[in-house]
Every structure is written in structure tokens, then in C-alpha cells.
Amino acid sequence: LKGWDTSRDVLIYPPPAGPYVVETKAKFYRHVDNVVVRYSTITTDPVGTFEYASPDGSFEPAVFCETIYKEGRVWPFNSTLSFDSETITNCTNITYPWNSDYEENFHLPRFLSREISFDELIRATISFSLKALYVTKTNQGMFSECYKYHLSVVYDNSRHDGVIGIKMHLIPSSVHCRKNVTNVVSRATYTLRQCLNGLTIATCALSALLCARSLYRARELMRKTSKFFTEHLRRQLSWKDKMDFIDFWFIVIIIDDALLIAGSAVKIQIEERLVPSLMYNACSVLLGCGCLMCWCGLLRYLGYFKVYNILILTLKKSIPNVMRFLLCTLLIFSGYVVCGWVVIGPHHIKFRTLSTSAECLFSIINGDDIFATFAMLFDGKDLVVWYFAQLYMYSFVILFVYVVVSLFVAIFVDAYETIRDAQTGEEELTVMWSFISESADESASACRSDDDLDKL
């Protein structure tokens, strides 16, 4: 891409440079010419290994397509325009003869034998395909990956606002590599890594099976207990009593094991080159989520300690209230997001889209970049919008930073105090736990009576 700077590849917000566009016809033609010429020398100029996507590696012409209105004429002097909204797409193979003067001689209007009508132009695209080979030398051996890239450079003039936006879309696909590598390093590390993957799958499968068996036994015990209360005590178990039979940590462990099994299976296939390495993203998501749930599952064992158990019970008790609170908060937050996008979006870079509006407001809740957001507000050329923006920002900060966050913390504090008071005082027992308590008292009384008889 002509004039592309590496700073555009660095994710900085706000971006250090403006949008990547061309403003004149000459710049547009120079940009297209540059893409075509660079494509013609892609096998010789770059440091990397690139080839054309044809079966024998010979030059394969790029395709230039333009989407235009069937008819479009503009007369700015009297504010008149004539358009046929029907669109037409014309594609042409750029079969310009390659020679040493290619770079100096190629010019798009000369090749097309016509000028492009920018009043009619909606979108122009240059498409081509490339093959690339990547070789990596590590202590474990030499690894090679082969890809086929489908690239499209898109010139978007759909808004007809005086600038043409430029984007490059790249769709990679993995292809088979034909390898002939000598002096390959020992496969011991590779074999050990595959054995570790297999051991992970076997261990997780056994863990999931044991947890499923425990859940099944708990369900059977719940069914028998419910039947006993119905037939002998003429009472129904409450939903809370039934949930006491289910250990939700087992469900978390089963989900965790399933994620780790799936992730390890994908990793084995990637190592064996049975699936394209593009599956790395799916593999990393599966293994990452599995590790996250695995570490969260360690909280179960902290529950055996009294001090940590209070914290875990606090989280458990506060979750229903937190979910209700977040639902109400989400409705108000969504209103602020849409309002900011509609009103402030045309004037502020952080509110240009719904997603950036939500990200900006969420950052403000966490105390990030508040002053910069205020400082970037426009200078008040439109007083109505300026006053609205000030009211909007101040009301959001007061409502969410001071009120909503404080209420959110209060929910956890209230749950903690409730759990602490319940452990020091008497807790109201459910039907099942009342029955268990009475049975325990009767057993203790019977034991005391037997001891008294022995003394006599």
C-alpha cells in the first residue's frame, strides 16, 4: 500500500494518524498503479518467500473490479444531480505485458483506455492470490507452514464525500507443504509433548466421568429423599432443599474438562498437521477457558477453611442480587451508549460507533481517561450540542461512578454481613434440614439414655 507507515499497525487510541484515504484522482491512480507494480515484483523484491497462486508459479494477473451506478451525473453549479440507483460491476484482468519497464510504464487509465468516472464510482477492488512459505528453526526441529492468501485492496467511494477510503482484506488458507528436510532434530521433545496432550485428555476424561457419576448419585438420592418426605411425612421438598443435593462445582469441573479435552485434541491435530495451523485461535480459546475454570475450581477446596468459606458463601449469596442489579444498570447504560452515539458521535472520535461509545463509557466508570474525554469535546461551535454534551458527561459520571458503583459494593457488603450474622446466630432451617436436625437430636438423646442405664 503506497504511503503505508508502520505506525498504523500499532494499536494506539486515539490513532496517531488519520484515516488511510486518497483525496485526488492523481493520488488514486498512483495508489492503484503502485499495488499493480508491487504485485508484479512480489516474487523478487520482498525478503520473504512469496509466489503467485497459479499451479506452476507463473504470473497470474490481478483483477480490477469497479462497482458503479448505471448512470450518474452531477452539476454542482446549480446543485443538480441525475442518478440511476441500479449498480453495475465490471471486472478486468490486468494482463499488462511484464518487462523491465513495467514500473515506469503502467498507468491504470492508459491500460483501461479511459478515465474512471468518480461521480459514478461506488467501489473499486484489486484482487489477487499469493502463496507464502514460512520456515522456523527451533531446538525441537524445523517447522514449515504453507499458506495461500486471497487479497483484496478495496477503494470505498460509497459516501461520495470527497475522500476514498482504502482497506486491504486478507483471507488466509493453509495448504499442504511438500518437505524434504535433512538433519532433523530428534523427535523426543515432540513425542513427549504429544504424550502430555494424551495424558491430559485421559485425565480430564476420567475426572469428567467421576463427576458425572457423583451428579447421578446425587440425583438418585434427591429422588429417594423427596419420595420419603412425600410418603411418610406428607411434605414436599423445597427447591432450595433439592439444590442442596447438587454440587455445582462438579458441573464446573465437567465443563472445564470438556474444554481441556477439546483444546488438547485440536492441539494434537495441529502438531500432526492434520488441521491447518489457523486453528490455533480456536485451540487457544478452548485451552485458555479451560485453564480459567480450572483455577476457579480451586476455590472449592478453600471452602473447607472457615475464613475462606465466608468469602465464598458471600459470593454465592450475592450472585442473584448482583445479576438483578446488573440487568437494571445495563438498561440505563445502554440508554447512555445510544444517546452518546447519536448526539456526540459526529463530533467526538470516541463516540463514532456503538462499540466505541460503550468502551468509552465503561472506561470512565473505571476512572480511566476521564479528563481526556472531557478535553476532547468540541469547542462549542454549536451551543445546544455543547451544553448537552456537558450535561451528558457530568450526569453519567455522577450516576455511575458515585451511585451505581457504591450500590454495587453495598450488595456484597450486605451479603457478607448476612452470612456473618447467620454463622454467629440461629439460621432458619428448611424442611429437610429441620428433619435432619430433629433426627440428630433424637439420636443424641437416645445415646444419653443408654449411658444413664449403664451407670445404673
Render pLDDT for 107-152 as a digit per residue (tens, 0 to 9).
899 888 899 989 889 999 999 999 988 877 665 566 677 888 999 9
Tell me: do 61 and 163 sit in the same domain.
Answer: yes
Tell me: do 340 and 283 sit in the same domain.
Answer: no
pLDDT at residue 456 in the model: 43
Tell me: do 22 and 171 sit in the same domain.
Answer: yes
Asked if the structure places residue 184 within a domain, the reply is: no
Asked if the structure places residue 186 within a domain, the reply is: no
Query: Is pLDDT above 70 for 453?
Result: no
Tell me: do 367 and 246 sit in the same domain.
Answer: no
User: For residue 171, which of 149, 188, 155 has the smallest C-alpha distance?
Assistant: 149
Tell me: do 81 and 104 sit in the same domain.
Answer: yes
Q: Among 39-43, 149-153, 394-398, which stretch is predicted with the lowest mean pLDDT?
A: 39-43
Of the residues 227, 262, 297, the one at which a domain ends: 297
Tell me: do 284 and 410 sit in the same domain.
Answer: no
The CA distance from 25 to 27, in Å, is 5
Domain count along the chain:
3
Tell me: do 47 and 102 sit in the same domain.
Answer: yes
Query: Is pLDDT above 90 for 49?
Result: no
Mind listing the pLDDT tens digit for each residue in 234-268? 778 777 777 878 888 899 999 999 999 999 999 88
**Omega of the bond leading into 320 within 30 degrees of 0 (cis):** no
Of the residues 297, 329, 361, the one at which a domain ends: 297
| Of 428 and 416, the one with more pLDDT | 416
Asked if the structure places residue 108 within a domain, the reply is: yes
Confidence band for 13, pLDDT divided at 50, 70 and 90: low
> Best-predicted range by mean pLDDT among 187-191, 202-206, 361-365, 436-440?
202-206
pLDDT mean over 398-402: 89
Q: DSSP letters of 145-174? A: EEEEEEEEEEEE-TT-SS-EEEEEEEEEEE
The CA distance from 122 to 140, in Å, is 52
Tell me: do 166 and 34 sit in the same domain.
Answer: yes
Strands of 139-260, DSSP E: 141-156, 164-175
Asked if the structure places residue 147 within a domain, the reply is: yes
Asked if the structure places residue 440 within a domain, the reply is: no
What end-to-end distance do the CA atoms of the chain give, in Å? 103
Strands of 260-379, DSSP E: none
Asked if the structure places residue 456 within a domain, the reply is: no
Asked if the structure places residue 209 within a domain, the reply is: yes
pTM of the predicted model, to two decimals? 0.70
> Best-predicted range by mean pLDDT among 1-5, 37-41, 298-302?
37-41
Of the residues 175, 206, 234, the one at which a domain ends: 175
Range of the domain at 199: 193-297
Tell me: do 171 and 214 sit in the same domain.
Answer: no
Report the mean per-residue pLDDT for the chain: 82
Asked if the structure places residue 182 within a domain, the reply is: no
Tell me: do 292 and 318 sit in the same domain.
Answer: no
Tell me: do 199 and 170 sit in the same domain.
Answer: no
Tell me: do 283 and 325 sit in the same domain.
Answer: no
The sign one gets for the Cα dihedral 438, 443, 449, 455 is negative
The CA distance from 300 to 313, in Å, is 11
